[in-house]
Amino acid sequence: MAHYDFYLIGSYSSSEFRAVRDAISRCLQFAGVEQSDVGVYTRFDSNGKHHDGMRPIVVACFKDISENDMKVLDQLRNRRVPIIPLRRKRESFTDFPGEIQMLNGIEFRNERKFCNHIANSMLDAVGLLREQRRIFISYRRTESTNVAVQLFNHLSASGFEVFLDTHRIRPSVDFQESLRHHLCDSDVLVMLDTPNYFESRWTVEEFGRAQSSNIHILRLVWPYHKPTHSTGLSETVELKLTDFKNGQLTDKVQDTVVEVTRNMRAKSIASRHTLLSGKLRAGVEHCGGRVVGVGAFRAIAVEVPRKPPIWVYPVVGVPTSYTMNNIVLRAKNSKHMKPFLIFDEFGISKPWLDHLEWLNERVPEVDLMRASDASNEISRR
């Protein structure tokens, strides 16, 4: 049975449907999600069983929505179900009915990169990826600052939250601790591999920590430069002189970076989720327990002898109070008892870990659990 329901509503051709469906299938594969876990539907069922709040759902809709479907969409909006309007090239979002036109939408074209963007957004909306789309740019200031700033602007305009040291670290802040904290909360490291990239202690550490944390690396290799270091978890784009104009990347290369980054992000999150789930399983088995299943939002059902069963939600990156609130709501909708949140504390700054401890003491509806302390935490429950 599917754990997630994806709807494509409105007026569209069979080729447009296939393009979106195939993009969803590709994105699920990148994200390490079984195809059978996601149901893709073209209409709302009459008895409402597929949109009764028991499973996560997301709706992507073209214009010309039927009156009956619009009634269902109004109900879903009231429940804060994510709805994504899809606008064709010559259409306007004002063509959509009612309050749907007020929602932030996506341009649709029957092209792979546009459909991939839609599919990634749908997976984000139901928690199969992360709501945050965080990218870390690693570079040598003496060699590639102009390109780093250019990519910062282009990736930001494409919907990513981008970390660039010159833009995000305030004066007086511990530089090294801030780099580590932002890196562990990023999905992809975009590495500007210039000839002297590995001559800096900062870039060496960023590259090494990304690898040790299973954060995937997009490596942009400068012309005539031969990489000499390990490229595990990385994808390489070999740049040519013609890829530059006036010292900056051409529009075509920038668009390639965006497209590759979207796909790598799904793979990176899946890889880190698998690593985190493995740490949880090891902790559970150390306590004599076992993992008995997986539910919506990738929640993991755990049984430990002489204790009630629990649901554990692995969280990739840095947890926040917003994350905790979302997990409480997701557990409630899924009829799970008090949920547990497990996260990998490697790289998270000491002040933020202290903040999480403070939050954990004051939010009784959910419990935080460090991956390194999973067995002890589970034993105490």
Distance of alpha carbon 25 from alpha carbon 11, whole angstroms: 21
Q: What is the pLDDT of residue 95?
A: 87
Residues 106 and 100 sit within 8 Å (Cβ to Cβ) = no
Per the listing, tokens 């939050």 go with 359
pTM, 2 dp: 0.86
Pinpoint the alpha helices (H) of 50-103.
67-78
Distance of alpha carbon 108 from alpha carbon 93, whole angstroms: 12
Tell me the CA distances in angstroms from 192 to 99, 143, 221, 249, one per residue in order. 43, 9, 7, 12
pLDDT digits (tens, 9 = 90+) for 345-379: 999 999 999 999 999 999 999 999 999 888 777 77
Q: What is the pLDDT of residue 174?
A: 66
Torsions phi, psi of 164, nearest 5? -135, 125
Residues 6+ away with beta carbon under 8 Å from 134: 160, 161, 162, 163, 182, 185, 186, 187, 317
Taking the CA of residue 321 as centre, how many other CA atoms within 13 Å lie in the half-sphere pointing to its CB? 7
Helix (H, G, I), strand (E, B) or coil at 204: helix
Q: How many CB atoms lie under 10 A from the CB of residue 241?
A: 8
Q: What tokens appear for 153 in the block? A: 């602007």
Residues 6+ away with beta carbon under 8 Å from 361: none
Q: What tokens appear for 102 in the block? A: 């007020």
H helices, E strands: number in the chain: 11, 17
Helix (H, G, I), strand (E, B) or coil at 129: coil
Q: What is the pLDDT of residue 335?
A: 78
Q: How many CB atoms lie under 10 A from the CB of residue 68?
A: 11
Q: What is the pLDDT of residue 233?
A: 62
Question: Which has the closest alpha carbon to 134: 191, 210, 186, 209?
Answer: 186
Ranges of the chain whose pLDDT falls below 70: 1, 46-54, 167-175, 229-233, 381
Torsions phi, psi of 242, nearest 5? -70, -10
Distance of alpha carbon 201 from alpha carbon 206, whole angstroms: 9
